[in-house]
Amino acid sequence: LAERVRRIGGTTIRSISHISQLQTIQADNSDFVQAGEMARRLMEDNKHMAQMQRAAHEVCVHNHDVATASVLENLIDQSERRTWFLFETVQGMNNTD
């Protein structure tokens, strides 16, 4: 994707500190997380990731970059599948009474 970003005139990530500046999902350094809570957090992170991928897809469409838009469509599909799977997992954990 970095090659595609540069092709349309964008800049790519330059360093590890640059990554931390761009990070939109909060780091989680908890010592212990219950399995259900962990699955819920992963679900929320995947929902957020899909939203960010959709925003990137819009940039591609605006710049007529069909190739990158296609790559992003596959990534969005994967993120949405993970979100669905994690949602069903969390629902199942909540219904074990």
In whole numbers, what is the pLDDT of the chain averaged over residues? 91
pLDDT at 97 over 70: no
Q: pLDDT tens-digit profile of 11-29? A: 898 899 998 888 888 888 8
Q: What is the DSSP letter of 31?
A: S
pLDDT at 4 over 60: yes
Assign 77 a pLDDT band (cuts: 50, 70, 90). Answer: very high
Q: What domains sit in the chain, N to C, each tagged with a CATH number?
A: 2-94 (1.20.1260.10)
How many other CB atoms sit within 10 Å of the CB of residue 57? 19
Q: Which helix (H) or strand (E) holds 4?
A: helix 2-7
Instruction: Look at the pTM and tell me if it is higher than 0.95.
Output: no
